[in-house]
Amino acid sequence: MLVDNLRRAAQQNFLSTTEALLQAIDAKDAYTAGHSKRVSELAAFVAKELGKNESEIEVLRYGAYLHDIGKIGVGDLVLTKPSYLTQEEFGLMKRHSEIGYKIIAPIKFMEKCLPIVRHHHEWYNGKGYPDGLQGSDIPFEASILSIVDAYDAITTDRHYHKKYSHQKACEIITQGIDTQFTPTLTEKVLAIINRYHEECIPGERTEYSLTR
């Protein structure tokens, strides 16, 4: 009982610290403010609709929340550049998934979130990063996150583009099936995102907190 309580307190501590770190990234980069929370909420919704059990949903929720934590190690000039990145700058940006992995790796109870943090930029055709995983070698949860992450990035204002509509985002992601995104899974996830878009009106959702 005491051990359980201590473990729970340690988890709460870590999650509060994580939230503070993510707020630090948000402060560095106003355009991505809220990105982690939105992606976390949508990823958990998708996991639930795909019939995942409670603990699998939680892995997606936390993994999604932490997926960009490695951006804390990317310089401000690259993170907030108001135009597309040069190849060299993109090389620096690409390091965030490995940096995030290293931040999370020592934390035992976040173990199942590690594949999401490390592999959320892998591409179905093997041309993603950091490991160039291909097809079914990409962890399932990371494949889900890459779709949800792209959807949120496309539908919000960024330094380098204005936001696109929900419809346009679905079209862009559909065009990436077989290259960036996993076939069949992507069609299922887009159908769920479509329901989410219709049913969940932004601003009317209860305030989301990781430590609730």
Q: Residue 116: which of 156, 166, 174, 57 has the closest Cα? A: 57
Residues contacting Fe ion: total by CB under 5 A: 1
Minimal distance in Å, beta carbon 79 to Fe ion? 11
Q: Residue 70: which of 157, 129, 139 has the closest Cα? A: 129
Minimal distance in Å, beta carbon 204 to Fe ion? 28
Q: Which structure tokens are listed for 98?
A: 């490995």
Burial class (CB in 10 A: 0-12, 13-18, 19+), 145: buried
Which of residues 29 and 68 has its CB atom nearest to Fe ion in the complex?
A: 68
Alpha carbons within 13 angstroms on the beta-carbon side of residue 71 total 25
Minimal distance in Å, beta carbon 107 to Fe ion? 19
Minimal distance in Å, beta carbon 9 to Fe ion? 30
Give alpha helix (H) positions in 29-113.
Answer: 35-49, 54-66, 76-79, 87-93, 96-104
Residue, CB closest to Fe ion: 68
Chain residues 60-99 in contact with Fe ion, contact rule CB under 5 A: 68
152 is a contact residue toward Fe ion (CB under 5 A): no
Binding site for Fe ion (CB under 5 A): 68
